[in-house]
Amino acid sequence: MTEEIFRKKNRDRWDDTEKKLRQRRSGIGSAREFVRIYTELSDDLAYTRAHFPGSVSDQYLNGLLSRVHERVNQAEIPEKGRFKKFWTTDLPQLWFKHRQYLLYSFLIFTAAILIGIFSSIQDPQFTRVILGDQYVDMTLENIDKDDPMAVYKKMDQSEMFIAITVNNIRVSFLAFAGGIFAGLGTLFVLFQNGVMLGTFQHFFHDFDLLFETILVIWIHGTIEIAAIILAGASGLVMGSGLLFPGQSSRLQAFRSRAIDGSRMVAGLVPFFVIAGALESWITRITTMPVWLSLFIILGSLALVVWYFIIYPSKLAASLTAEPHQSEPASFQPELQ
CA distance to 44, 161, 281, per residue, from 158 (Å): 58, 5, 9
Per the model's pLDDT, the better-predicted residue between 272 and 331 turns out to be 272
In this prediction, what percent of the chain has a pLDDT beyond 90? 56
- Average of pLDDT values for 242-250? 82
Beta carbons of 10 and 331 less than 8 angstroms apart? no
Which residues, 6+ apart, have CB-to-CB distance to 14 below 8 Å? 60, 61, 64, 335
Contact residues for 77 (Cβ-Cβ < 8 A; gap 6+): 85
Q: How many whole angstroms from its chain centre is CA 130?
A: 27
> pTM for the complete prediction?
0.75
The pLDDT of residue 66 is: 81
Name the residue among 225, 230, 228 with its Cα closest to residue 300: 225
Residue 298's pLDDT band, with cuts at 50, 70 and 90, is very high
What pLDDT is attached to residue 29?
47
Cβ–Cβ < 8 Å for 246, 333: yes
The answer to whether the CB of 125 falls within 8 A of the CB of 134 is no
Confidence band, pLDDT 50/70/90 cuts, at residue 214: very high
Specify the higher pLDDT residue, 56 or 132: 132
Region class of 55: left (phi > 0), else alpha (psi between -120 and 50), else beta: beta
- pLDDT at site 237: 96
- What pLDDT score was predicted for residue 64? 87
- For residues 48 and 82, the answer to whether their CB atoms sit within 8 Å is no
Alpha helices (H) in the chain, listed in sequence order: 3-22, 28-51, 56-76, 79-85, 91-97, 99-122, 126-131, 133-144, 157-177, 184-205, 210-243, 250-266, 269-277, 290-305, 311-319
SS3 state at 132 = coil
**Interval 30-87: pLDDT, tens:** 667 777 787 888 888 888 888 888 888 888 888 888 888 777 766 655 556 678 888 9
322, exposed or middle or buried, with CB in 10 Å at 0-12, 13-18, 19+?
exposed
Minimum mean pLDDT range among 70-79, 102-111, 254-263, 313-322: 70-79
More confident residue, 20 or 248: 20
User: Given CA atoms 266, 271, 273, 279 in this order, what sign does their dihedral have?
Assistant: negative
Output DSSP code: residue 335: P
74 vs 66: CA distance, rounded Å: 12
Sign of CA pseudo-dihedral 243, 176, 94, 108: positive
User: pLDDT value at position 335?
Assistant: 42
225-234, 253-262, 319-328: least confident range: 319-328
Q: Which one has a higher pLDDT value, 204 or 149?
A: 204
pLDDT above 70 coverage of the chain, percent: 89
- Whether 27 shows a pLDDT value over 70: the answer reads no
Residue 264 near residue 91 (C-beta atoms within 8 A): yes
| The predicted structure's pLDDT at residue 178 | 95
Averaging pLDDT over each range in 69-78, 145-154, 275-284, which range is the top one? 275-284
